Structure formats: C-alpha cells, structure tokens
Amino acid sequence: MSPRPGGLSDGARGRLRPPADPATGRPKALTVTELTRQVKAHLEGRFESVWVAGEVSNFRRYDSGHCYFTLKDSGAQLSCVLWRMTAEGLRFAPADGQQVLAYGRLSVYEPRGQYQLVVVQLEPAGLGALAAAFEALKAKLAAEGLFDPARKRPLPAYPRAIALVTSPSGAAIRDLLKVILRRWPRIELLLAPVRVQGEGAAQEIAEAIARVNAHGGADVMIVGRGGGSIEDLWAFNEEAVARAIAASRIPVISAVGHEVDFTIADFVADARAATPSQAGELVVPEYRAVAEQLARLQAQLPAALLQRVAVSRERLRALASSWALRSPEERLQQFRQRVDDLQARLEPLRASVLESRQLELAAFGARLEGLSPLKVLERGYSVTTRERDGQVLRAAGAVREGERVVSRLARGKLVSKVEERSSE
C-alpha cells in the first residue's frame, strides 16, 4: 500500500489514532497539560538522582538568589536551576566556560514544557569544591595584601601570658600545655574554648580572637587544632577566621593540623607552626637554656665591669693630658690671633674693590651726562613747546599762526607768537 500525503500509511495512522470515547465515539485526545504531567511524572520518577558533567553557559543569578544556567557539551545542552539555599552554600563561584559536575534530579517546568535539572550539589570538574574555594579565597586575600610579610609582626621573645584559641578537649590543647609548661613552667595561659570543626566553628574562632584582643591580657595568641581531613580543618580556611587574624593587635601563631597541612589561617598569621607542639616551641624559649645563659652573663659581669672601668679611666687620663684641656687660654689666644690675621688680609682687598667700584661709577656718570638734553642746549640748540599744553614741537604744522610758543635755551627761555609758518 502506498503512503498517503503526509508520509504515513493507513496502517500507521490506525496505530497512532487515539482510542475512541465510549460516550461520543470520537477519538479521546490528551490536553497539553495532561501530556506534560505524564511526561513530568515519568521523567521525575525515572531520574530522581543523577550526576551530569558539562560546561556552564548563560549563568545568571537573579535578585531572588536563584541561579539559572545551561550545561552543554559538543552534542546537547541541558537547562539547570540552582535554588537560593543551595547557591548560598557553594564554595566557589560558577562562571561561563567552567567544566563542572552537577548532581540533582530531572524536573519538568510545565508552563514551557521544558525539562531541567534541579541541582542540589555543584562542584568544579577535576577539582573538589573545597579545593576550589581554598584557591579562590587565597587569591582574594593575597590580592588585598593580607599575606604580605611586611605586615607580619615579630613574636615577643619572653611573653608573660599566652592565649590559646582551640578546643578544650582536643589533642591540640594537650600538646600545647605539655610543651609550653615543660619549656617555661611559670607562664600564664589563657584558654578561649571553641569548636574547631563543623557548622559555626569558623564564627566561634573569629569571635574568640576578637575577645582575646578585647581582654588585652595576652602578649601572643595561638590559634589551631590537631590534624584531620580537609573537611575537618575547613573552619581555618573560612574568610571570617582569616580576617579576624589579620585584624588582631596581638601577634598570632597558626598551628593547624600536621606538617603537610596548610590553611588560609597559616598564610595570614604572623607565624605558622607545622603542628601545635611546634607552636609551643615557637612561643616560649626553654627555661633551662635561658637560666644557663643568665648564669654565664652573671659570671662574666664583674670582669666586664672592671674592663669597662679600665677603658674609661684610660680615656679620662688621655683627655686630661691633652693640649686643649691643659692650656685652654692659650688655645683661645691663638683663635683671636687667627681672626686678626684674616682681618689684616681682607683690608687691602676691601680698598681695592672699593676703588674699582668708584672708577666704574664715575665712568657711568660721564656717559649719562653726555646723554643729558642740557648738554645739547649748551651747544646753541633750544627746545620749543606749545604754551597751551607744553607739547614739544617737531614740525611747523604742529602749531597755528597767532599761537604762543616757548623756547627753552641753555640759560632762560623765550615766549614768542607765531606770525608765519613754513614746512621747509
């Protein structure tokens, strides 16, 4: 049988025709909503949990806090939604082009008939979320200068009191007490008890650091805990703890985990101890070594004082025998004679300079006198001006007939009345 227009045979059309409604005899069709809900129930029941790997694109965070993005690879793409509560718990910032692993369930958004992945866990592909968060915060704080060696303060050589910000029941407190009290038994210790892992631990540690600073009784502070996994140590990678350490007026030693463990707190602190036990060795000297050194200094003190007195006595003897101290009046007389000698040498020079300046002044006076208008008048010339305004006349046309003019001579002046003018 040949297919009819539309590409389906009669047999195929019969198989695709919906069942008839017994009441009307007409085919019973599903509404779009009914079909969508059937698809939704099938997909959501079939894919309740799934991991999907892909590249993030079109990532958008709305004012509601919800995030929408697309996961894609070379062959397909998948719409994803990240609700606000999940988005706030992310330890890294998703961005377009980033390869990620998304865990969640498939859902159908009925108004658009679109299936999507509701993400409940998101982490960078090939790098754990904690490691990504560590690197992101490390780069951020480094850019702000919180790791700059120039801002780190030296530890006090002989602290009177030490604050310990740690768990009161962990291995770290036992190691710290054992090492510190063995090295310096009479030290004063202040304990600021905190949780060192779990939800809220970072905030407790940050608040304890601030309280120790407000108390002001400690000269140095140790912040730390014993070893554990990266998750166990994570409180010391939180931004709140890093900023509390950076803001501390009291020098801070970070003592977190084992020697191979590094946390953000280690980079911000004024000093890093590989273990709590090493922090105890850093914070106080060994009492016996200090006592032995003091004993040696005490034994050396009398000899050192005698040597100092001998050196001072010799210096005093040298000063007492010096020519300056033996004959101060003679020294003063020599200075006076030196002044008189200099004055005598300056007198001829002053007279010579004065004579030279007088000759120069006379020459300038002669030149000025030669330029004087009075000298010109002495040679038989005169200067004629209009009587009415004193204007010097340089041409006959500058005065009218009948106008009075004044002629200044070398001695005296003449007042005349113009009767005739000539421009020649």
Is residue 387 located within the same domain as residue 275? Answer: no
Task: Determine the structural domain holding residue 389 and report its residue range.
Answer: 377-417
Q: Is the dihedral of CA 153, 155, 159, 165 positive or negative?
A: positive
Q: Where does the pLDDT of residue 13 fall: very low under 50, low under 70, confident under 90, or very high at 90 and above?
A: very low
Is residue 88 located within the same domain as residue 30? Answer: yes
In a domain? residue 350:
no
pLDDT for 11 equals 45
Is residue 101 located within the same domain as residue 178? Answer: no
Name, in order, each residue with C-beta under 8 angstroms of 244's C-beta and a sequence gap of 6 or more.
205, 206, 207, 209, 210
Domain boundary among 270, 285, 300: 285
User: Which of 319, 268, 285 has its CA nearest to residue 187?
Assistant: 285
In a domain? residue 165:
yes
Q: Where does the pLDDT of residue 376 fall: very low under 50, low under 70, confident under 90, or very high at 90 and above?
A: low
In a domain? residue 314:
no
Is residue 93 located within the same domain as residue 189? Answer: no
Task: Look at the chain and report how many structural domains it folds into.
Answer: 3
Cα atoms found within 13 Å of the Cα of residue 36, Cβ hemisphere only: 12
Is residue 94 located within the same domain as residue 208? Answer: no
Is residue 168 located within the same domain as residue 275? Answer: yes
Q: What percent of the chain has pLDDT above 70?
A: 87
pLDDT for 52 equals 92
pLDDT for 127 equals 60
Q: Where does the pLDDT of residue 28 fall: very low under 50, low under 70, confident under 90, or very high at 90 and above?
A: confident
Weakest mean pLDDT among 34-38, 78-82, 173-177, 234-238: 34-38
Residue with tokens 């004024």: 270
Higher pLDDT pick, 252 / 301: 252
Is residue 114 located within the same domain as residue 172? Answer: no
Q: How far is CA 381 from the centre of its chain?
A: 86
* Alpha carbons 315 and 302: distance in angstroms, whole number: 20
- What pTM was computed for the model? 0.50
Instruction: Kindly report, residue by residue over 196-205, the tens digit of the pLDDT.
Output: 999 899 999 9
Q: Is the pLDDT of residue 5 over 70?
A: no
| CB-CB contact of 208 with 153 (8 Å) | no
Is residue 121 located within the same domain as residue 167? Answer: no
| CB-CB contact of 158 with 285 (8 Å) | yes
| CB-CB contact of 165 with 207 (8 Å) | no
In a domain? residue 216:
yes
pLDDT for 8 equals 43
Q: Where does the pLDDT of residue 231 fall: very low under 50, low under 70, confident under 90, or very high at 90 and above?
A: confident
* Alpha carbons 399 and 408: distance in angstroms, whole number: 17
- DSSP notation for 9-28: -HHHHHHHSPPBPTTT-SBP
Q: Where does the pLDDT of residue 1 fall: very low under 50, low under 70, confident under 90, or very high at 90 and above?
A: very low
Highest mean pLDDT among 46-55, 343-352, 367-376: 46-55
Is residue 163 located within the same domain as residue 245? Answer: yes
In a domain? residue 309:
no
Weakest mean pLDDT among 40-44, 53-57, 96-100, 230-234: 40-44
Domain boundary among 104, 127, 150: 127
